Structure 1
Amino acid sequence: MADLHSYANMFAWAFIPGLATSMLQNFYYSFAYPVDHAKPQPGSVKFRRHYRNIYTLVVITYLFYTVWEANATLPANYYSILGVNSGDEFSSRQLKISFYKLSKEFHPDKNPSEEAGQTFILLRRAYDTLNEPIMRAAYDKFGPAVEKWQHVVTPRDYILTGLKSAVSFYVGTGFILIIFNILGKGQFGKFWRFISFFALACLEFSMLVSPTPFTVSGWLYPYRITYQQIALLHQLFITFFIALSQVGPVLFPSETQEIRPTINRLEMLSHIAAAESQQLMRESFAPFLRDEVAQAELKRKMEKMAVDLNLMNDLTYQQMYGQVRQRVVGRQRN
């Protein structure tokens, strides 16, 4: 199952950067602009530039931190625990000697502490896993989870079971990508994000079915075995997702985003103008509210005005009116 901590980061950093940036910007302004009237006002060019720079710094700092944290907090693999090299660079005898040396130090008979007992159990699990070739190959690709799989015997069984487990990450991540698109949080770089998503799926599938360690991932993380490299690649993808969703729209705002403040101001002014016109209309008709005779006269004149306006807009009427006017003018001249 995919790491829930990674999913929590995806959701948290969809909303936290804006809040953190506002706090840092206010903190910066309190020192850089001790006089209130000298501070850049919200919406000004200088304010937006400062916000963009601080926002980018906040997100990029977090992204580097998450990459470092993912690698630093990844638990040691069984090879590191037993002090042997990964791959086929050690014999069964070397593995047994290494386990024997470590087990003497942490054996419950010689070290009764609870921590030593847990370490001894971990050493025993590591030895049992690495000492069996089929289990060892499955562990390299899928991690300690293979120890809990039941009714799995052949390499093919391990591969099929592991692939079913790996699909859960892509189902969960794909669902989150769709949710973010629905919420409008992942519009920038949407095409490249989905391309990266499917590219990662193809890369992971190749790593899991390949009989030898994958060269590219081994170059990125030379001291990690396959399942650890996959976990780190998952974190890198999530980091890439955050980078596109957060930094992209700020560094490269769309034309719609740039004119949005102007549109909002125009919309506000139109609402104000509409409210004022309604108020003027109510004030104009206020004298007629309690005078029924005046209301009837006003209604009659407004109906006549409406008829006159319709006639003036009628082409046939305009032609007839012009002809009659010419005749009248001609008679007056004669």
Structure 2
Amino acid sequence: MTSAFASLDTSLWTTVAMWSIVPNIASSVLHNIFYSVRYPDPNTRPKQGDERFKRHRKNIYVAVVLAYLAYTSFESVSTVLQNPTLYDILGVDRPVYKSAPWSLYTNQVSATGGVSQDDGFDVKAARSNYRKLSLLYHPDKAQEGEEERAELMYRAVREAYEILTNPSTRHAYDRFGPIALSHCAHLTPSCKTESDYLWRAAFPMFWGHHVAQTAFLVLMWFIAPGNGSPANPTSGRRASYWRVLLYVAGVVLEARVVFGPPRLPAVIRLIPGTSRIPIYSLAAITRNLSTTTFVGSSHVLSALFAFAPAADMHVLLSAFDAFARALRDEAGKGFRDGFGPFRRVQDKERREELIGAVKKRMEKVGFEERIVALSPEVREVAARVRARVVGGVRKGAAAGGAGGAAGGEAGPGKKKNN
């Protein structure tokens, strides 16, 4: 584990340090420039702490972070694409793998010591270029003052030729990179197959690096939970779900690029120039983008969450608690209104008799409602009966009203005659 922490790329430290400084400084400068243009009179400018000031600060900060995220992403990709590979040093084209290298996970070796898969690598062109370059950079033919540079180029050309002309080391280099080859060179016994390079070098280096990097990012998370957010210092933790999700997605994507089939994911194929670079370079691009996105998203999400109302959840929980209490009170009141009369009956046998009668009545009502609900004929008859009953009640009420009116008129007349 110590070697894993020691191998942690120093660019990670630089990335975190720059992200902690640049967005805050740039957003402060742009905020002042915006206010000097938008509000020439200092007395009309929003004061620090006002809602308008917070809104302007958030918008400027998020814009700066997104712009810096785009810049750092472009820089990380272009840096990897500009680094020369062994194919560039030897002046040959990188082969295109048309099928999954199943020999990567086995110990099957061909008679020449490499894998039996034919990837279309032009060995003749590599041999021809090696002869030309070895003569060009031979130390004995170097000009005065160029001996050291010629010696380095000569060694690089020879190393590139030895690695690329061996199918096993070529596939291991293309997928795992020169660091894995250098690591295997110091092992006893040395790696001979792609499976050896995978299990003895690639896997330990991959997981060791990510364990160390994850530990570092978690440490930075707890040290600076706000991650430079201009407001709420706990906003970074509120956005932790999306940050962790993005980081895990980056690790999974890198593992897919390194250990998966040669056909790359669509998100990687969108990057121009990826078809001519080795897989380990694509893994480096994925790793850099994952780290940059993790740190950058921390600032974006922190800013967005920082200016959101912090008490929203407490307000919702309080409203829900009040609603639950009101519902409980209503249910208790209905229960008391329905069964309160039974408490006034002192005779136990009489009270039980009344409760039994109520139960039977409720069962009867429920049974009748179920019959009405299940049978269309019964529903039709019940509707006619209800209509007849309602009509009879209305007629009786009308007749009673008319009789009362007639009696009122006859009463005074009789009194007058008497």
**Deviations 1:229-260, CA, capped at 9 Å, x for gaps:** 1111111112221232111232353321899x
Q: Residue 255 of structure 1: which of 309, 322, 330 is its match?
A: 309
Aligned-residue offset at 1:32: 4.5
Deviates most, 240-249 or 106-115: 106-115
Deviates most, 41-50 or 160-169: 41-50
Q: How does 1:174-189 map to 2 (within 5 A)?
A: 174-183=214-223, 184-185=225-226, 186-189=236-239
For residue 53 of structure 1, give the secondary structure of its aligned residue in structure 2: helix
Name the amino acid aligned to 1:22.
Answer: S
> Runs (4+) of structure 1 moved beyond 6 Å?
none
For residue 207 of structure 2, give the secondary structure of its aligned residue in structure 1: helix
Name the amino acid aligned to 1:173.
Answer: Q
Name the amino acid aligned to 1:154.
Answer: T
Q: 2:253·2:286 contact (CA, 8 Å) conserved in 1? A: no
Q: 1:213·1:226 contact (CA, 8 Å) conserved in 2? A: no
**Deviations 1:281-330, CA, capped at 9 Å, x for gaps:** xxxxxxxxxxxxxxxxxxxxxxxxxxxxxxxxxxxxxxxxxxxxxxxxxx
Name the amino acid aligned to 1:256.
Answer: A
Structure 1 residues 54, 92: closer, same or farther in 2, change over 3 A?
A: same
- Distance (Å, rounded) in 1 between the aligned partners of 2:55 and 2:248: 35
**Is 1:73 the equivalent of 2:82?**
no
- Distance (Å, rounded) in 1 between the aligned partners of 2:247 and 2:300: 19
- Distance (Å, rounded) in 2 between the aligned partners of 1:40 and 1:111: 69
Q: Residue 133 of structure 2: which of 102, 107, 110 is its match?
A: 102
Name the amino acid aligned to 1:107.
Answer: H
Aligned to 1:18: 24
- Distance (Å, rounded) in 2 between the aligned partners of 1:163 and 1:178: 22
What is the aligned-residue identity percentage?
29
- Distance (Å, rounded) in 1 between the aligned partners of 2:93 and 2:269: 14
**Is 1:171 the equivalent of 2:211?**
yes
Aligned to 1:232: 285
Q: 1:10·1:238 contact (CA, 8 Å) conserved in 2? A: no
Name the amino acid aligned to 2:86.
Answer: Y
Which blocks of at least 5 consecutive residues in structure 1 are unaligned? 260-334
**Is 1:121 the equivalent of 2:146?**
no
Q: Residue 192 of structure 1: which of 202, 222, 242 is its match?
A: 242
- Distance (Å, rounded) in 2 between the aligned partners of 1:200 and 1:147: 24
Structure 1 residues 71, 115: closer, same or farther in 2, change over 3 A?
A: farther
Aligned to 1:142: 176
Aligned-residue offset at 1:81: 2.4
- Distance (Å, rounded) in 1 between the aligned partners of 2:17 and 2:238: 16
For residue 73 of structure 1, give the secondary structure of its aligned residue in structure 2: helix
Aligned to 1:86: 94
Structure 1 residues 182, 83: closer, same or farther in 2, change over 3 A?
A: same
Aligned to 2:197: 158
Name the amino acid aligned to 2:290.
Answer: F
**Is 1:246 the equivalent of 2:299?**
yes
**Deviations 1:138-165, CA, capped at 9 Å, x for gaps:** 1112211134222322222210111101
**Deviations 1:17-46, CA, capped at 9 Å, x for gaps:** 223311332244345444432333212233
- Distance (Å, rounded) in 2 between the aligned partners of 1:117 and 1:258: 68
**Is 1:43 the equivalent of 2:49?**
yes
For residue 275 of structure 2, give the secondary structure of its aligned residue in structure 1: coil
User: TM-score, normalising length from structure 2?
Assistant: 0.56
Aligned to 1:132: 166
- Which has the greater radius of gyration? 2
- Distance (Å, rounded) in 2 between the aligned partners of 1:211 and 1:35: 63
Structure 1 residues 247, 147: closer, same or farther in 2, change over 3 A?
A: same
Count matched residues.
Answer: 259
Structure 1 residues 53, 215: closer, same or farther in 2, change over 3 A?
A: closer
Name the amino acid aligned to 2:42.
Answer: D
- Distance (Å, rounded) in 2 between the aligned partners of 1:73 and 1:227: 14
Name the amino acid aligned to 1:86.
Answer: R
For residue 99 of structure 1, give the secondary structure of its aligned residue in structure 2: helix
For residue 197 of structure 2, give the secondary structure of its aligned residue in structure 1: helix
Name the amino acid aligned to 2:258.
Answer: L
Q: 1:142·1:226 contact (CA, 8 Å) conserved in 2? A: yes
Deviates most, 161-170 or 29-38: 29-38
Aligned-residue offset at 1:215: 4.3
**Deviations 1:167-226, CA, capped at 9 Å, x for gaps:** 123112321332244242332432233233333333333333336353443554323211
Name the amino acid aligned to 2:193.
Answer: T
Q: 2:93·2:276 contact (CA, 8 Å) conserved in 1? A: no
For residue 61 of structure 1, give the secondary structure of its aligned residue in structure 2: helix
User: TM-score, normalising length from structure 1?
Assistant: 0.68
Structure 1 residues 123, 28: closer, same or farther in 2, change over 3 A?
A: farther
Q: Residue 201 of structure 1: which of 239, 245, 251 is its match?
A: 251
- Distance (Å, rounded) in 2 between the aligned partners of 1:47 and 1:153: 64
Structure 1 residues 115, 9: closer, same or farther in 2, change over 3 A?
A: same
For residue 218 of structure 2, give the secondary structure of its aligned residue in structure 1: helix
